[in-house]
Amino acid sequence: MQRLSLLLLSSSLLLSSGIAFADSHESSAEGPDPATPVEIFPCTFNDGKGPSDLDKVVEKWNAWADEQSLQDYSAWTLVPYYSGPDQEFDVLWLGGSPSAKALGRAQDRWLATGGDVMDEFNKLWTCSAHSNFAALEYKTPPEREDKSHIVVSFSDCTMNDGMTFGDISPALSEWSAYRAGHGSTSGMWVFFPAYGGGSEDFDFKFIAAWQNLEDQGADYDQYAESGWVKGDELFAGKLDCDSSRVYLGTNRRRAADND
């Protein structure tokens, strides 16, 4: 339970039209909406390349996306902030669409017409993996003042013997309501591995996002003061999660609003 406590200390996508780390939208009080797809690339800059080069290539990628009228794909780059030796990459590219069909359509266009920009990315960095996750939202973030930047935490969670996600999901919904009732401005999601893995030693990833580190710290303080009691009540004996990795996120493209 100690590792779960560390997770909840640092927590409180995400995906309505693409990735909604920064946008508020309506969600069901009965639980999460249907899962939506997320793709993640862990990438390391090639020799002589760095963040300023990434900005230039992303500008070219956005120009390509505009030419293709790509309106149903959102993307973020995430840079490690609180991290350890297992994070052997410089940047995570996180992208998503409101449905797997829409994501597949964007990927088809990229593979068919993105060659020149793809070459620019290949010169920029080397990506060691390409994974797909099914995301469920449990807590919608409020409307953000700054929609271009965000703080995001990831933690890997394993359900204890005899537990199913049917046992865990109501607890996550209750934790979301508790956090909201105590002033948390975070969003909360779970990511289930779908494609590109195969050797995972976890059942799902728990994701939280805030506007900034101060908002994250406010949740930290509330948990340390009294929130741990509720956390133990909901999750003790059900779930084991490792300590969170925290990233500073920059929005690179935003899907068109479906509203």
Give the mean model confidence (pLDDT) for residues 117-144.
Answer: 95
Closest CA to 6 of 255, 211, 208: 208
Q: What is the dihedral of CA 245, 250, 256, 259, to 10 degrees?
A: 60
- Given a cut of 80, whether residue 70 has pLDDT beyond it is yes
**Banded model confidence at residue 31, pLDDT cuts 50, 70, 90:** low
CATH 3.30.1020.10 fits 2-253, yes or no: no
Query: What pLDDT is attached to residue 34?
Result: 78
Query: What pLDDT is attached to residue 147?
Result: 87
> Which has the higher per-residue pLDDT, 7 or 102?
102
Q: Structural domain boundaries of the chain?
A: 2-253
Question: How much of the chain, in percent, has pLDDT values that exceed 70?
Answer: 86
- Given a cut of 60, whether residue 32 has pLDDT beyond it is no
Query: What pLDDT is attached to residue 256?
Result: 81
Average pLDDT of the chain to the nearest whole number = 88
